[in-house]
Amino acid sequence: MTTYDVTALSPRDRILKTTFRLFHGQGYNATGINQIIAEADVSKASLYQHFRSKEELCVEFLNQRHDFWFAALRGFTDKAKTPKSKVSAAFRFLHDMNTRENFRGCAFLNIVSEITEDAISIRRVIQQHKEDLRVFFQDILRAEHPALTDHVYLLFESALVESQVFRDPWPVDKANSIATRLFA
């Protein structure tokens, strides 16, 4: 059931808001087009006017999730002054995001685990998101600690997965502690 005023949004926006909630909440494969149509209160023709396929809809969902996620991440890290404090802020963001989203985990990793090999456009968006995260850490660490980029990136990614597995922030907090010790 929708949790927003459907009359206030265009059909495309209703489709996207509904897709965002369903794909992130119950997964890509568990979400059918008919469920999206019903919960977005749009016709099948309207959905297909905006998105030619479920795969195209997923690509748009991932692109919007990417923008939302990186804006929130930068909201945490932009205030920090040093590379060490920026990295620690990134882990605090992850702690906050995971807790707020009930340890649902990474939408990108959740979807990559569900798609088949022929879902190339979805896989490209996921790979680009992960590369953008790696570059994010590279930009923070380039000047003073370039050798730490992949260490921090992999700690961040593993903390994200493990916090989902254990439904607890302890892996993120431990990874933050490990990452900050790398600066010694």
pLDDT digits (tens, 9 = 90+) for 108-156: 999 999 999 999 999 999 999 999 999 999 999 999 999 999 999 999 9
Quote the pLDDT of residue 1. 46
Q: Any idea of the CA torsion for 54, 59, 61, 65, to the nearest 10 degrees? A: 160
Give the C-alpha separation, 8 to 151, whole Å. Answer: 45
Nearest to 121 by CA among 49, 22, 44, 54: 54
Class of the CATH domain delimited by 52-181: mainly alpha
pLDDT at 184: 80
Name the residue with tokens 């992850």: 94
Q: Give per-residue pLDDT as tens, 23-55.
A: 999 999 999 999 999 999 999 999 999 999 999
Band the pLDDT of 176: cuts 50, 70, 90: very high
Work out the pLDDT band at 6, boundaries 50, 70, 90. Answer: low
Q: What is d(CA 36, CA 147) in angstroms, rounded to the nearest whole number?
A: 45
pLDDT at 2 over 80: no
Work out the pLDDT band at 7, boundaries 50, 70, 90.
low
DSSP state letters, 98-138: HHHTTT---HHHHHHTT--TT-HHHHHHHHHHHHHHHHHHH
Superfamily for 1-51?
Homeodomain-like (1.10.10.60)
The residues spanned by each domain of the chain are 1-51, 52-181
Closest CA to 160 of 98, 110, 115: 98
The per-residue pLDDT of the chain, averaged, comes to 95
Per residue in 66-110, pLDDT (tens digit) is 999 999 999 999 999 999 999 999 999 999 999 999 999 999 999
Coil/strand/helix, residue 22:
helix
